[in-house]
Amino acid sequence: MPVLTDVHEATQCAEVAQAVDVLQIPAFLCRQTDLLLAAAATGKVVNVKKGQFLAPWDMANVVSKITGGGNPNVLVTERGASFGYNTLVSRYARAADPGAHPPARRSSSTPPIRLQQPGGKGGSSGGEREFVTVLARAAVAVGVAGVFIETHPDPDQRAIGRTQHGAAARI
């Protein structure tokens, strides 16, 4: 099974790349040039989560940094956009429009199925995991190439992400 993990600093990329198949850039770091170039330099697949503050077409610059660094192995994960407070929304029409996404392998979760509500529980993020299966099916129905689904055998026992991750057995 391929292993994917986040990197948060450019100095982590080379070492982490020795142990994983995919380096993932978190949404809030998706425009950090030094991090993108360091991830690209590893030659590993780089999955970049689109920042909730960006339009899908704004990711073209992100993809260009990685491919310009010599790495054509780029995935872009749509995370939705901030809508009001504590809510991320997905617009499925954008997922069905190939012109809305940069020229990268769109085999990530476009649109997102991570049902996160940033800060939705007051001191932590919340979510609505009961919709994971429904939204995953909707994403496939509009033509995405694939989905990433974060799962756990027993989500209620997770230290973080309890409310937005699906139970592995249900997925």
pLDDT, tens only, 107-144: 333 333 345 666 666 676 666 777 777 777 887 887 77
pLDDT at position 54 over 70: yes
The token pair at 24 is 């993932």
Buried b (16+ CB within 10 A) or exposed e, 38-69: bbbbbebbbbbbbbbebebeebeebbebbbeb
**Under 8 Å between Cβ of 63 and 103:** yes
State the Cα angle at 159 between 161 and 29, rounded to 5°: 55
List, in order, residues 6 or more apart from 3 with CB less than 8 Å away: 19, 20, 21, 22
Question: Does an H or E element contain 137, and which?
Answer: helix 132-141
The token pair at 121 is 């529980």
Q: What percent of the chain has pLDDT over 90?
A: 36
**Under 8 Å between Cβ of 22 and 46:** yes
pLDDT, tens only, 61-109: 999 999 999 999 999 887 777 666 666 666 555 555 555 555 444 433 3
Q: What percent of the chain has pLDDT over 70?
A: 60
